[in-house]
Structure 1
Amino acid sequence: MNDTDPDIELLARVGNNEPEAVKEMVSRKLPRVLALAGRLLGDAEEARDVAQESFLRIWKNAASWRSGQARFDTWLHRVALNLCYDRLRRRRERPLDAIALEDEQPIEAVDGSPSPEDQLLHRAQNAQLAAALAALPERQREAIVLQYYQEFSNIEAAALMEISVEALESLLSRARRNLRSYLAESDRTRSADTVTPGRGNR
């Protein structure tokens, strides 16, 4: 398993308290953990807390880590998922706030800066998608985030969620339908809001 896990050598160096290894581990893993927690929780501050707790688990386990059934990256995602579940359970009575975590996902910063109109459109689209994700049931949202955003295969995502591949595919199918329905309804609502009744014929 060590030969196929790209993190084992780095993890051993972290366990030896090598400062450069710690920096590399943070650089390698932090963006994905933040993105995972951010999209599941819909709250940037809570996402940072989950990432911090996840890295504390890394520092505790690095020296004694023994590769077994799962790769280290899979274990780390499982830790982050469990921490997210704990937070979601604690606030189940409250609605999920929908925000776009643009700080964790730098996009379109290559060929010149976009126009102000493009920036506003991009921000609105991010916020709309974040709201759509937040509206999904937890397991559907998790399936979408793991496959589309974290780029796990169906087999890997199913293992992380501790379900069969068939169950994962069913969750993904329902999640896609719900996302399409939510986004279509959101578009209809936004279009209706732009029309002011009683005006336009004066």
Structure 2
Amino acid sequence: MATESPDDENLLLQIQEGDNNAFATLVKKHSTKYYNLVFRYMLNREAAEDIVQTAFLKLFENPGMWSPKKGVRFTTWFYRIVVNLCLDSKKKFKEIQLPEIFEISDDRPHQEEETLTLEAQSLLAAEIASLPDRQKSALILCFYEGMSHKEAAEILAISVKALQSLLMRAKERLKTRMKDYLWDTHE
């Protein structure tokens, strides 16, 4: 989960006053975390870079969009913007980029195991990418971003109970799909 440092609010207030250095500091501080989120969501480097850049550009062009008076932390608010941009950009970036699977050779004793592990990870990433949007969002926010159910529900603008239902359906679907894969691989 994104940790809100005490100076995020001050940085945003400085940005609202036109301080470009404060904006650069905020981008440097948070861009990697949001890039990782988008990459997990889109599985496309170009999409991840474009979406994060677009999100920060929106903030730069209209820094008053976020206000501490709304009672929402910057990181929670910005996660929502980034997730919404992912949903909007899905059709533009169709190509999924997964790790290459290496050819098995006799010169590395455990290469077959490593290859199967990498292949399973690639398949899991593809299966997560194929989940319905709300299930995928819930899964990524809770498991990859480490958010509590309450935080993820707030970002997705749903109840905690609805979030838990999305997670349960996503895990069941992944479990079934991966079980089928593992069964086919070891026959």
TM bracket (short chain): 0.7 to 0.9
1:181 aligns with 2:176: yes
| Aligned CA distance change for structure 1 residues 170 and 25 (closer, same or farther; 3 Å) | same
* Residue 70 (structure 1) aligns with: 72
Distance 2:33 2:74 in 1: 14
Q: Tell me, in whole angstroms, the C-alpha distance in 2 between the residues paired with 1:175 and 1:97.
A: 22
C-alpha distance in 2, partners of 1:142/1:97?
A: 19
Please give the residue correspondences for 1:48-197 in structure 2 after superposition, counting only pairs within 5 Å.
Answer: 48-62=49-63, 65-67=66-68, 68-88=70-90, 90=91, 97-100=95-98, 117=111, 120=115, 123-192=118-187
Preserved contact between residue 41 and residue 137 of structure 2 (Cα < 8 Å): yes
Distance (Å, rounded) in 1 between the aligned partners of 2:174 and 2:65: 42
For normalisation by structure 2, the TM-score amounts to 0.77
Encode CA deviations 1:156-179: one digit per residue, 9 max, x unaligned. Answer: 111111111101001111111111
TM score, norm. by length of structure 1: 0.72
* CA-to-aligned-CA distance 1:131-180 (integer Å, 9 cap, x gap): 12012121111100011111221111111111111010011111111111
Change in Cα spacing, 1:70 to 1:116, as seen in structure 2 (3 Å) is: farther
- Equivalent residue letter for 2:26: M
2:35, 2:52 within 8 Å by CA — same for their partners in 1?
A: yes
Gaps of 5+ in 2: 100-108
Secondary structure of the equivalent of 2:158?
coil
Distance 1:174 1:41 in 2: 20
Structure 1 residue 69 displacement after superposition: 2.8
Structure 1 gaps, min length 5:
102-114, 193-202
1:46 maps to amino acid: A
The secondary structure found in structure 2 opposite 1:32 is helix
Shift of 1:66: 2.2
Larger Rg: 1
Letter of the aligned partner of 2:153 in structure 1? A
* Rounded Cα–Cα distance in structure 2 between residues aligned with 1:129 and 1:76: 27
TM-superposition CA deviations, 1:72-106 (whole Å, max 9, x none): 11111111111111123x46xx9x654348xxxxx
Aligned residues: 171
